[in-house]
Amino acid sequence: MTEPLPFTLHLYRTLSAAAAPLAGVLSGRRLKQGKEDPARVDERRGNSKRPRPEGPLVWIHGASVGEVLAAAALIERLRALKFSVLITSGTTTSAAIVAKRFPPDVIHQYIPYDSPRFVARFLDHWRPNLALFIESDLWPNLILSASERRVPMVLINGRMSPRSFPRWQRAAQTIAALLGRFDICLAQSQADADRFAALGSRNVMVTGNLKLDVKAPPADSAKLDRLLALTRGRQVVVAASTHPGEEEILLAAHQRIAKHVPGLLTVIVPRHPNRGEAIARMVAASGVEAALRSHEELPGARIGIYVADTMGELGLFYRLAPIVFMGGSLVSHGGQNPIEAAKLGAAIVHGPHVFNFAEVYDALDRAGGARVADSEDMLVRQIGELLLDPEARKTAIVTAERVVDQLGGALERTLFALRPYLLQMRLEVGATDA
């Protein structure tokens, strides 16, 4: 039996309903900031130009790019089982990734603003048979309304960082009322499972991290061949998914290492591509020649820093460089996912702030598949040693690949946990057909 809602959620539902007329103002502001697609902004009100497909529909929701990509292998298996898949997310970058990386029959919609009216419109249109929420992007009206419609809900790849846990504890009753609506919580680790259980999740299971089972990202072979030809004979380092405050450190490290490694090329791939021009200006002001990929410039012989400010090309640059620095780790962002780089044969260097993927980095560091650098001096040392010692680099690459293989298996465990729901959907379809 579902517990009564706490006062906080009653208040939230009232206020969010009253705020619905302000959706146009919010959309307008986000459009000016480039955070909405003008052609699809009505999806934020729960409207859709796409029809609901016939038969059982699995709805998968993730906040942004990382969460959506984490579900890629799961989506592939669901499609193989003949289930239609609807993905929702909240960012234009994730929408672009879905369009680029998934088959056309995988439907993407922007998650509606969390007002009862918009959520009801969304659920009335799509009528999902199963809802899978990735990690911890929990919208109260969305969860409560789906629960009232008796849509089975499962939290998959559940993650609760040590930094987030105390904040959620301060709203214990509210969070418990939301987490209690999920049939199962499938957590990435035992630590995540313990935190979700403490916050009110029922039936918590540890299934592992789906991101460890994601296939390596693709690359355009013609573009890769061209870059390999342009950089032949040069040492190349990629700094992937960098954040503000990191590029300056990477530039200083590049300048110091280049004194010992002539012709060194550092490729900076900013997490947010719209920062590319500012990064290039900062590099040029230091006296290092830079080129911008978004301007269709190429890393010629005189270029020291190549700013790859485009979407969906990390697979290309991981294949170009044997050494990858994982961004978001020199600043307190929590680090980016190192799995794709490891699968594509990179020796990994990272900063100290990797709490978003703590267990993965811990396993890599302990085995020698990754190296930590907590300062500019250590960054220079770690990258420099990998550049100048081919055997150490090869050992790190092989070790990282082995660790990633050992950590896999979350996809099969997740599918096993979902099997009762998938069988029930098949039975319901059979009963309807009969």
* Spacing of C-alpha 164 from chain mean position: 17
Catalytic residue among 67, 135, 247, 340: 67
Q: What is the end-to-end Cα distance of the chain in Å, rounded? A: 32
- Sheet of strand 57-61: strand arrangement: 107-110, 84-89, 57-61, 130-134, 153-158, 184-187, 204-206
What is the distance between the alpha carbons of residues 316 and 293, in angstroms, rounded to a whole number?
Answer: 12
Residue with tokens 């780790």: 329
CB 169 within 8 A of CB 149: no
Residue 138's identity, in one-letter code, is: L
What is the distance between the alpha carbons of residues 115 and 209, in angstroms, rounded to a whole number?
Answer: 31
What is the distance between the alpha carbons of residues 272 and 410, in angstroms, rounded to a whole number?
Answer: 29
CB 208 within 8 A of CB 188: yes
The question of whether 359 is a catalytic residue gets the answer no
What is the distance between the alpha carbons of residues 428 and 434, in angstroms, rounded to a whole number?
Answer: 10
Q: How many CB atoms lie within 10 A of CB 263?
A: 12
What is the distance between the alpha carbons of residues 64 and 285, in angstroms, rounded to a whole number?
Answer: 33
What is the distance between the alpha carbons of residues 372 and 55, in angstroms, rounded to a whole number?
Answer: 49
* Spacing of C-alpha 369 from chain mean position: 22
Structure tokens at 354: 């990797």
DSSP states of 276-301 = HHHHHHHHHHTT--EEEGGGT----T
CB 351 within 8 A of CB 372: yes
Structure tokens at 348: 């990994």
Burial profile 290-311: b = 16 or more Cβ within 10 angstroms, e = fewer? bbbbeeeeebeeebbbbbbbbe
Query: C-alpha angle with apex 357: 355 to 361, nearest 5 degrees?
Result: 100
Structure tokens at 373: 């650098």
Residue with tokens 């702030």: 353
Q: Which distant-in-sequence residues (6+ apart) come within 8 Å of 376 by Cβ? A: 249, 252, 253
Hey, which residues are catalytic here? Answer: 67
